[in-house]
Every structure is written in structure tokens, then in C-alpha cells.
Amino acid sequence: MKKLLTWISNLNRIFWERAVRSTYVDAKSLSVFRIIAGLFLLLAYMPSFSWIGDMPKTLFNPPVLSLTNLFDSFPGKTFFFVLDSLVLLSLICLTLGIKARISAMVYLVVCLVGLNFQYSFGKISHPILAYVMMGCMAFSGWGRHLAMLPDKESKIDNTAKSISLFGILICFGMFTAGFEKALVWVDFDLTLNGFLNWSHNGIFHYYKDYLFAPYIKYLPTALLELFDYTAVLFELSPLLFLLYSKRGWKVWLLTACAFHLINIFLLNIPYPFHFIVYLAFVDFTSLYHKLQYYLSLAYIRRIATGIVVLLILIRCMELVFGRSLASIFLKQGETMSLMYSGIVVWGIAIALVVNDILQEQRKKKYQKFITQIDTPKGPF
Amino acid sequence: MFSLRFTIILFIVLGVPFLIRYKYKEKYEPFPAILLPSGAYRASVASNEFRVNYTDLVAQKEDGSWDVVDAKLLLYPLPANNHKFVYEREFGLKVPAEPMDRRFVRLLKSLNILKSRNWTDQDKERTKRWLGRRLKEQGFTDAVLSIVYKEKTVSTSNGEILSDHILDEKVIDLD
């Protein structure tokens, strides 16, 4: 029994050591990621809940296993206005690095409360990993650098633990999507196809027939079947890549970004929220040094402050007037704009991950070269 | 590193919601939980037809004619993926049916997790007025709204609608 326990304990140690080895990025890199994630959310995907307060009470129908089931109805408008104000405030603090640890936690808690009410209309959506990222990163030390009011060193901060835990949570999330697909899609039956069902449903139910979506019907059956197996393999394999090596994990991240880009072209599904999920593992250390230099220049600092202030003003106006400024420029539900922005987002993500993989390769080659020079070759 | 105890607790916390969704599908999907959508359905490759179930909202114009309401505009800014659930409950105006008397449901009811919400007449009246106001904005009368459940068969080769028929219809009196 004791032997078994020791074996399990060793297995646990090896598991987490491998997870840390594959996912580790230092706090300086994470501070750059913090700014990228903050700007991404402020600019494009800031959650908003004020609209819930305007909906009729009778639409309140929370899922059975949800915290909102403890409530009898939607709270008043003021409640949701406070939630939105806190989301905005926490994102501003996060981007500027004003006590980023507590800001990330406030953002997470407030968003989870808001989402609980948002999903009380009946449909649970699944951008959960973007929120989990905030919870994990809050304790990664990402607020210690490039920050206006840096977080102090704390016992509760642990970069290695935070980032490795986040990696494992991504793997589990993917598993939950892939497991049921595997049971149904890996059928070795060329007459039924899962990918085709997504395609038909998108085109004929949701009228998503943009880009290459209408041409899927011309693809050979064998290729469609291959799509099914590839999707299952992609969703069930991240843990293997993560446990294999750092490079393996980066290759999986690259595949994930490519998967989302292909989904836009073929199925018209942009899923931009995961941009800030995968980029957490990219090493931004070189960008950190550049940012540190540029932010020491007065005129760059002024421009950066101007951009952030403009973003804040826009978001404050939206909060007060209850209308998205994007809706002035875009028609409601304009699918093509979403597609194009998705293509840009995933294009950038692919470029960043590829650059990261190449940089690591160069670093390895350089280290090998240094070792060769340092090693004495003969007796003289 | 994380302790063995932490790892075990982590996998229980992650695994329980996953098992609940696996067993009961979306019906009892917990939130918050780390679950991503699977969408594990299949379509026939050989078939040139695809069946789509959809719902139309129909209301009466001022001139007495009937027309399809823009549902997105009617319920704006509610995300469209919620519409199905809102229609199922007839905008909350329907008297909720008692859940089936199964063991899990009984347990949830006894723990006061599962509640059947009966809205007051005042709440229902407010919803009717809200719907009426929004129908008027689209040029409809605020007297009646019909939820029409339909099924269409589409040709996958050219998108032509081969058949389109009504499965069910619920008429909501907004007066």
C-alpha cells in the first residue's frame, strides 16, 4: 500500500514537473501578455451585462445547476450597471498594471456573476477558458512588471504553478469537447459525417454561407471523414503534447490557432475569445525589453496614454448611454465583419506562435553552439 | 509542485460537472464549469436533403395581414441562441409544467435547487406590454403574437426549399 502511494505520489510529481517544463514563461513575459489581454478585451470583447436589466422578468429561467437559481428574478438595472462599471474599472487597472492581481480577480468574479444571469435566459455559452485564464494569471505575478502600481512579491504568487495549472485546464476543456465527438464521429462510416452536419446546420439554419462554406459540398467523402477524425484527435491530444515537451505544446497551440482560422473559412465560426487563452504561453520576453525601452521615451508614453484614455472614454460612453459604439459603424449582426476580424485575430495569433517557436529554436541552436565552443576538443 | 491531494480535488471538481453533462446532456449542464461544446451530431453524406427545424414569430399588421416578425429585433439585445428557450416557455407567459417525477429531479426539488417559478399576473402583464411595444416598432399590432414551429427540407446541392410545413403553433394573446 505504501509502495503504491509512493508510486502515485511520484507520478503526480512527474506530471506537474512536465506540465511546468512545457508551459513555463516568466513573469516579465506575462506582464506583456497582461497588457495584450487587457487591450484586447477593452478594445474588442468587453463583457457587458447592463442590457439584462431591461429584459422582462418572466424570461428568467436559470439552468438547474446555476448560482442564479437561488434568485427569484433578475436584479434591477442598477445591479447590472455596477457589474459593468466594475468590469470596465478592473480591465483598465489590469491593462495599466494597477494592482493587477486583485483587478483580475474582480474581473473574474464580476464576470461569473454577470454570466450566471446572462445564461438565465436558457443558453449556456462556453467562453469559460478566457475567464479561467484571468483566475490563473491573477497569481502568476503578471502584475509585477510594466505596471503603474505593481503587485508586491507575495507567497500566493507562483508563476510556474499558475501557468501549468492553466495549461492543464485547457487540456481538460478540450477533452470535454472531444470525448463525445470521439464516441459519435469516429465511426469508420463514410455515409455519416459530423463535420458535414456542422456545415449544413451553419448554412441552412443560420445562413452562414460566407468564404469557403458553400464549397464544402464539393469535398470528397474521404476528406470529410478525415476532418472528423482530425477534430477528435486535435481535441483529445493536448495533454499528450503538453506532457511531451515545450515544443510539442507550442505546436499544439499553433494547431489550435490554425484550427480556429480554418473554422472561420469553412464553417464561418469565429471564436476570438480563445485568442487570450493560447497567447498566455507565448514568450514575450523580447517584446518586454522593447516595451520597457519605448515606454521610457516620453512621446511614446504620451501616445500610449492617449490611446488608453480614448479607449476608456469610448467604453465609459457606452456604459452611460447603454449603446455599443461599434453598432454605429456595423449593422446589427453583420457576420462578414465578424469573419474578417476573426481572420485578423487568428492570423496575428498564428504569427506570434510561429515566431515564438522559431525564436526558441534559434535559442537552442545558439546554446548548442556555445556549448561546442566551451567544450575542449583534445588533449591540447 | 502541486500536492497529490490538490490533483485529486482538481480532477473531482473538473470531472463531476463533465459527468453530469455527459449523463444528462445540456438539461443539467452546470455553470460555472470547465466544459466546451461538443456538437457531436452527424449528417448523411449521400443525402441531397437536409432537414431544419426552426421557429417563426408571426404577428398581425395594421392592415390586417399577417407577417413574420424580425425575432432578433424583437428580443434585442438578447443573443439569438437564447430564442429557442424563450419560445419554449412562451416568453415566460406559460404556466410551467411540473418536471417529471424522476429520482434526480426529486432530489433537486428537495434541496430547493429546482424551483418552478410562477410569475404574477403583474409580471406577465409587463412582458405583454414590452412585447406589444416592440411589435409596434416593427409596424405590427400589439394584440397577438404567434410562435410557429416549422420544419423545412432543403436541397443541399442548390439550397432550394423542397418542403416547408408547420409542426406546431402557439398563439399568445397580448391584450
pTM: 0.92
Out of A15, A66, A173, closest to residue B34 by CB? A173
SS3 annotation, A148-192: CECCCCCCCCCHHHHHHHHHHHHHHHHHHHHHHHHHHHCCCCCCE
Top-confidence residue, A156 or A103: A103
CA distance A95 to chain B (A): 25
Secondary structure class of B63 (helix, strand, coil): coil
ipTM score of complex: 0.90
Cβ contact A194–B42 (<8 Å): yes
User: If contacts are CB pairs under 8 Å, which of residues 138-157 in chain B contact chain A?
Assistant: 154, 156-157
C-alpha B74/C-alpha B135 separation (Å) is 7
Q: Which residue, among B25, B35, B36, B116, would best test binding to A if mutated, counting the most A CBs under 10 Å from its CB?
A: B36
CA distance A80 to chain B (A): 15
pLDDT score at A335? 74
* Cα Dmax for chain B: 73
The owner of cell 457587458 is A48
Does A19 have pLDDT greater than 80? Answer: yes
Chain B residues with beta carbon closer than 8 angstroms to that of A60: 92, 117
Please, which contacts does A260-263 make with residues 24 or more away whose CB atoms are closer than 8 Å? Answer: A260/A342, A260/A346, A260/A349, A261/A342, A261/A343, A261/A346, A261/A347, A261/A350
**Predicted confidence (pLDDT) per residue in A278-325, tens digit:** 999 999 999 999 999 998 899 998 998 888 888 888 888 888 887 665
Question: Cβ(A177)–Cβ(A235) under 8 Å?
Answer: yes
The owner of cell 495599466 is A96
Out of A169, A193, A333, closest to residue B43 by CB? A193
Out of A123, A185, A198, closest to residue B81 by CB? A123
Does A371 have pLDDT greater than 70? Answer: yes
User: If contacts are CB pairs under 8 Å, which of residues 113-132 in chain B contact chain A?
Assistant: 113-115, 117, 119, 123-124, 126-127, 130-131
CA distance B175 to chain A (A): 17
| Pairing label, strands B43-44, B49-61 | unpaired
Does A128 have pLDDT greater than 50? Answer: yes
pLDDT score at A154? 87
DSSP state of B144: E
Rounded mean pLDDT of A177-188? 95
**Predicted confidence (pLDDT) per residue in A44-61, tens digit:** 888 999 999 999 999 999
**Predicted confidence (pLDDT) per residue in A242-271, tens digit:** 999 999 999 999 999 999 999 999 999 988
Minimal-distance CA residue of chain B relative to A19: B1
C-alpha A314/C-alpha A213 separation (Å) is 35
C-alpha A97/C-alpha A38 separation (Å) is 10
pLDDT band at A332 (very low <50, low <70, confident <90, very high): very low
Cβ contact A181–B46 (<8 Å): no
Cβ contact A116–B31 (<8 Å): yes
**Predicted confidence (pLDDT) per residue in A198-250, tens digit:** 999 999 998 899 999 999 989 999 999 999 999 999 999 999 999 999 999 99
Rounded mean pLDDT of A8-19? 96
Chain A residues with beta carbon closer than 8 angstroms to that of B82: 121-123
CA distance A124 to chain B (A): 8
C-alpha B42/C-alpha A264 separation (Å) is 20
**Predicted confidence (pLDDT) per residue in A344-364, tens digit:** 999 999 999 999 999 988 888
DSSP state of A201: I
CA distances from A295 to A28, A300, B3 (A): 15, 6, 41
CA distance B165 to chain A (A): 15
pLDDT score at A319? 84
C-alpha B55/C-alpha A224 separation (Å) is 30
Return mean pLDDT, chain A.
91
Contacts of A100 (CB under 8 A, 6+ apart): A34, A93, A94, A138, A142, A143, A147, A151
Q: Closest by alpha carbon to A70, among B112, B61, B158? A: B112
CA distance B137 to chain A (A): 16
Chain A residues with beta carbon closer than 8 angstroms to that of B20: 65
Portion of chain A with pLDDT greater than 90, in percent:
75
Does A327 have pLDDT greater than 70? Answer: no
Rounded mean pLDDT of A144-169? 94
- Give pLDDT < 50 ranges for chain B: none
Contacts of B62 (CB under 8 A, 6+ apart): B139, B140, B141
Interface check for B76 against chain A (CB to CB < 8 A): the answer is yes
Chain B residues with beta carbon closer than 8 angstroms to that of A132: 34
pLDDT score at A322? 72
Cβ contact B85–A122 (<8 Å): yes
| CB–CB contacts below 8 A, A to B | 195
Chain B residues with beta carbon closer than 8 angstroms to that of A218: none
